[in-house]
Structure 1
Amino acid sequence: MTIGFIGFGNMAQAIAKGLLEKQLVKPQELMFSNRSEEKRQQLIKSFAVSGTSSNQTVWDESDILILAVKPYQIDEVLSGLDKTKHPFVISVAAGVTNAQLALHLKESSFLRTMPNLNSQVGEGMTAIVENDQVEQKDLDRTKEIFVAVGEVVELPESQLSAFIALAGSSPALIFMFIDTLARAGVKYGLPKDKATKIAAQAVLGSGRTVLETDQDPWTLIDQVSSPGGVTVEGILSLLKGDFAASIIESVDAMVDKNDDMSKG
């Protein structure tokens, strides 16, 4: 089985890296296209996979085709292909809907997906957009590919705006939280690099604790909060400042913006 990438930027490279590290494919089973000869040779050397300047070659030789170009390039790239062959197509192009893909992929089965930035370090969260025209074996293959770089969830397309806010954009909010915690540590004498490491590890460990213990976050909050203790004071301070309301308002703003952009 050959997995091909049309476009081999950061997200495509993260997926390829995950597949290779998890030994789900061999290097000779991956290929990509990139117009730049210099960049192509660098990537071939880095990943030990096949590279070509021709999108058509990747399309013709792939069993699974991962479409990883910029959204504005979709129409040009897909309309320029001879689609005599019909590989299974997985799109990671942000904002390109099932309806838009269907216009170009009339004969090919496809799934729209939305991986997030953290896929680059194997801790991603990917939405697989429901498509009742896709066979179970292709859905299973898609899940296997994205589990190599994190976790997956299946969602109807109508819920993708919420997913984008919670997973696609929220890393920026979490980076802000980490940096703010670190700066608070600096206020009390910690060096910035050490404070950032401490805060980042606390966030990473907290997320893993939620996922691996399967406990409600507020139950875990209670476990950290001794009566009359330090943690309780911190939580009460955040509640006074409407911390929860601020987060919800931020999500609302992101959902509204994504909906506006989707309407064109």
Structure 2
Amino acid sequence: MRSKVGFIGCGNMAQAIIKGMVKAKVIENSSIMVSNPSSEKLEKIKEECGVSITNDNKQIALESDIIVLSVKPNKYEEVIDEIKELVQKTAVIVIIAAGVSIEKTRIMFKNNKISVVRAMPNTPALVGEAMTAVAPCKEINEAELKEVMEIFNAFGKCEIVDEKLMDVVTGVSGSSPAYVYMFIEAMADAAVLNGMPREKAYKFAAQSVLGAAKMVLETGNHPGKLKDDVCSPSGTTIEAVYTLEKIGFRSSVISAVDACVKKSKLMSK
């Protein structure tokens, strides 16, 4: 990657992205610059990753080819108002805040031609296993999109989606780590109920979820087939599956994701 990448904001997600980029060596450390009001966070990321730091958002705007706006949604208008006159004409703006659309971003920049990519990574970015949806504006060119994809592939996996699916992305990947944590916790509670020490229970449950997910991704088999392969006739697994079906496990998950998508749509209006 030859572009200079600037981050406005140095929260957990920005740090995860930067660390992923540095670890994957998709860009020279010196080509990454980060701004943040707090010098403490900046000094830490500089020490860990060898990137350039500044307290001045305007410097990011002036010097960056790709600008990642990694601040809270309620700070977007304030930050954009500060930098909108200084951003290079060829710059690509990457937005990662929930509920902030490409159109809204262009309105805030007062520029309906500025190149914007909307992305939604999730919290497993912190361990290099994010799932990120990327929705580019129509004006983005192939080389620019490739560089943005390199950024998000550096700390997990990413897929291009139509922007209208971003609310669905919120339900199926953006918010879903919380559902999985609840599932792991519940399985561990059941193991503790049956005599297993708590720490071992979490490890057994979490590793099983990790392994099952890798089976789906790496074998390419339908989840239903993989489930069938584990269920022996009259065995323990089919007994558990029967119980889950009886209490509405799948319908509960579908309802939860659907509720999340609907809430996201309301917030995006």
Corresponding residue of 2:105: 101
> CA shift at 1:113, angstroms?
0.6
**Matched residue, 1:70:** 72
Q: Structure 1 residue aligned with 2:96, among 92, 99, 104?
A: 92
2:252 aligned partner: 246
Asked whether the 8 Å contact 2:131–2:173 carries over to 1, the reply is yes
Q: Match for 2:204: what amino acid?
A: I
| 1:185 lines up with 2:187 in the alignment | no
Q: In the TM superposition, what are the counterparts of 1:145-160 in structure 2 within 5 Å?
A: 145-160=151-166
SS at match of 1:102: helix
Q: 1:136: Cα distance to partner?
A: 1.1
Give 1:133 deviation, angstroms. 1.5
Distance 2:144 2:32 in 1: 17
Equivalent position to 2:126, from 120, 123, 133: 120
CA shift at 1:137, angstroms?
1.0
- Partner SS, residue 175 of structure 2: helix
Distance (Å, rounded) in 2 between the aligned partners of 1:38 and 1:115: 25
1:228 aligns with 2:231: no
Q: Map of 1:138-177 to 2, 5 A cutoff? A: 138-177=144-183
Query: Please, what TM-score do these two structures have when normalized by structure 2?
Result: 0.94
In structure 1, the residue matched to 2:10 is 8
- Which structure 2 residues correspond to residues 26-65 of structure 1 after superposition, within 5 A? 26-65=28-67
Change (3 A) 1:28 1:84: closer
Matched residues in 1 for 2:43 and 2:149: separation?
30
Percent pairwise identity:
39
Which range moves more in the overlay, 181-190 or 107-116? Answer: 107-116
Query: Aligned partners of 1:168 and 1:179: how far apart in 2?
Result: 19
Alpha-carbon shift at residue 41 of structure 1 (Å): 2.1
Whole-Å separation in 2 of the counterparts to 1:238 and 1:15: 37
Answer whether contact 2:119 2:133 (CA < 8 A) is retained. Answer: yes
CA distance in 2, matches of 1:42, 1:225: 49
CA contact (8 A) 2:96 2:118 kept: yes
Q: 1:112 deviation in Å?
A: 0.7
1:23 is aligned to 25
Unaligned runs of 5+ in 1: none
Deviation at 1:95, TM superposition (A): 1.4
Contact residue 9 and residue 35 of structure 2 kept, 8 A: yes
Q: Distance in 1 between matches of 2:129 and 2:265?
A: 26
Aligned residues: 263
Moved over 3 A (4+): none
Aligned residue for 1:113, secondary structure, equals strand
Evaluate the alpha carbon distance shift between residue 229 and residue 84 of structure 1 in structure 2; reply closer, same or farther with a 3 A threshold: closer
Deviation (angstroms), 1:38:
3.0
Residue 84 and residue 33 in structure 1: after superposition, are their counterparts in 2 closer, same or farther (change >3 A)? Answer: closer
AA at the equivalent of 2:60: V
Q: Secondary structure at the match of 2:88?
A: coil
Task: Give the TM-score normalised by the residue count of structure 1.
Answer: 0.96
CA distance in 1, matches of 2:259, 2:71: 27
Q: Secondary structure at the match of 1:80?
A: helix
Once the two structures are TM-superposed, the CA of residue 39 in structure 1 deviates from its matched residue by 3.0
